[in-house]
Structure 1
């Protein structure tokens, strides 16, 4: 009897140990406080779906477990960081790759770098950023022309006409990004329309279908996504081959093709730039005009700065750094709208945040949307107040989060330039007015967009 009891106890201990090892819902992520998986296969995926978005899920996760918290994405452990101090600890030793680009490439199924280790990743990152900077410099008149065309169209509208910001500003972003990124071929509206069809199909699934797992459960959606991705890749590869024949040197793609990258790597970087560049640029412009339409005082202050710095001249690349209040308006737009609420990095080597050890190959989420509206970091966090960026602590926190300074996502730097050109052209000619009873609700996916079309009216600025 005693032998049987010893055997039974031993068996139970072995069984429990096996369950703890094999069944993920019985394990935490290296002792980091957080959720157990609700499903062996999907982890906390259903919890994310129930919250409506990854951002909303992270808001609740950090409210319950603090600024360092864990959960499971499928069978994979994830650590989320939800405060400035914790993000600072993690970003500094892992700054060789861009967290937004890393996440986007992973979702597209592309390798994160050149495959040659950290040094080659740094080289490719610098090449990518240099290509964007050269494209902005060489094609600044294109941006100005696209902005002037849009403002001219709005000036022709009756003052009571409702203007759909999402539709118009996505069009502006597509025209700008494709021409600066891929060259003269995209002066043709038919090319842009075809590009937009595939762009929208890909981004809608990356923004939601991948993140909540719903695409994998629909064979028709997955087939539609894969067809759009294949068509987009074919277009981008054809752009590469056209350049090899023509050898022009003005667009983003040109700088990449003069490097040692393969055609496939160039195509992948063009995919990331055009996808992320279009969405980030469009939504930065949408939210900036929406917030400006809610405040006559902020519009007038911006108008005065534009008059003082530019007079009657069009904006130029060398004048943009002097438009400090315009920069504050865009910073506050990014913060208030939580423009990029989520980014991620793979932990390349074992690391530590506070007392928590983060094992190698753990996925680390940057809960940027949580931090951008943290009352401990920002006073009156839900109020649109560009003046807050006159203070050094606000600028420093914003920089630590990667929204300004050397760590800024290159697509966001591109978007800031396009948005500055648009605002400097628009605000000196028109006043923006919010529609009564319209509330712009945020849809927080990889890039925050309005849940519904956002409308404004405009009137001529009397000078």
Structure 2
């Protein structure tokens, strides 16, 4: 995975193994455990409420580009929760988004062919963008050092006796990992809600039943069962993270094949999550696949058939709890406030653009309509 090292550094948490990796994960992940994530509940709720107000004031609610909304919510959430106040400012989010949308396609394009050769115009442009991204990380650190009030994830990274490039890399790994999966999943979820209005109605009914007229509270999240199924079915069908990679720690055999030590192994998560071996009619969007009752399909299915956050113990994505709290709060708040439907330019059979991470091939443009007060 050397093609991503110019952005994230060759010694970032993405690359290291052994005792060093375990120690860093131990320190970092304490900020992403369930108890820590629940402490961010009111940050997530404030972001959701402010976004609801902004959407309610739009002059053209019939043409809303959902990914832009989702990106801003997700970037603010991970930024404020882990890195303090830098991403609480819309201008900073937009600046970072513009850079991200330039460097990420280069990484995906060169997943198999390598980075642009040095001396080429494309190479100079790419490395210029990387420098701008690292400048933003430096600004995040400076802002936190001068005005930060709470101890955050960023403090742990800075105290880890790492070189500057690795500090920047670890911050970017958690920043990009934190917003990309959430923003893309939110986009797909709202697309599905608009595409299947009867499911959207069921989600809204569940929200009304669980919450009544009250504000959403942490204790309500486990009760939003259908919404959780809806999110999981989106993760399955759209496989936001299609692959996970690992290095074999020693010589081993897998189904009779010899795998030498230090071999890169690709886990085809998206293939398994869309395989007829494990899923009946896998091409259909059916949230009830995730019904947890005793005789449900989920009860009979191998747990390895659904691993959107990877597997293999401590190398799993550490942001699982963070992701679900964000997604439940954001989607619950938005669907409670608005009815979503497809704009004419949005296809009903949206294709997937595949890469390191997947996304809708076309813009998801939706119409939003304020719901009447319950």
CA distance in 2, matches of 1:420, 1:138: 15
1:440 aligns with 2:327: no
Which of 377, 389, 393 is the matching residue for 2:300?
393
**Length-normalised TM-score, structure 2:** 0.85
CA distance in 1, matches of 2:80, 2:10: 24
CA distance in 2, matches of 1:218, 1:115: 27
Matched residue, 2:220: 319
1:227-285 residue CA offsets vs partner (Å, 9 max, x unmatched): 22222223323433444455632543134345565655432211101122222111010
Matched residue, 2:78: 177
CA distance in 2, matches of 1:280, 1:318: 24
CA distance in 1, matches of 2:226, 2:140: 38
Which of 250, 262, 272 is the matching residue for 1:371?
272
1:188 aligns with 2:95: no
Which of 217, 220, 240 is the matching residue for 2:121?
220
CA distance in 2, matches of 1:115, 1:291: 35
**Length-normalised TM-score, structure 1:** 0.70
CA drift of 1:456 comes to 1.3
1:217 to 1:292, Cα distance in 2 relative to 1, 3 A: farther
CA distance in 1, matches of 2:313, 2:328: 19
1:110 aligns with 2:10: yes
Number of residue pairs the alignment of both structures matches: 363
CA distance in 1, matches of 2:16, 2:180: 30
Calculate the aligned-residue CA RMSD, in Å: 3.1
Matched residue, 1:425: 333
Matches within 5 A, 1:120-139: 120-133=20-33, 136-139=37-40
CA distance in 1, matches of 2:207, 2:247: 42
CA drift of 1:212 comes to 4.1
Which of 182, 185, 193 is the matching residue for 1:284?
185
1:336-373 residue CA offsets vs partner (Å, 9 max, x unmatched): 11111122112221122111111112211111221111
CA drift of 1:418 comes to 1.7
1:201 to 1:148, Cα distance in 2 relative to 1, 3 A: same
Secondary structure of 2:178's match?
helix
Matched residue, 1:153: 54
CA drift of 1:144 comes to 1.5
CA distance in 2, matches of 1:443, 1:120: 35
User: Please, which runs of 5 or more residues in structure 1 have no aligned partner?
Assistant: 1-100
Secondary structure of 1:301's match?
helix
CA contact (8 A) 1:181 1:270 kept: no
CA drift of 1:159 comes to 8.2
1:318 to 1:253, Cα distance in 2 relative to 1, 3 A: farther
Matches within 5 A, 1:296-315: 296-315=197-216
CA distance in 2, matches of 1:402, 1:117: 19
1:419 to 1:367, Cα distance in 2 relative to 1, 3 A: same
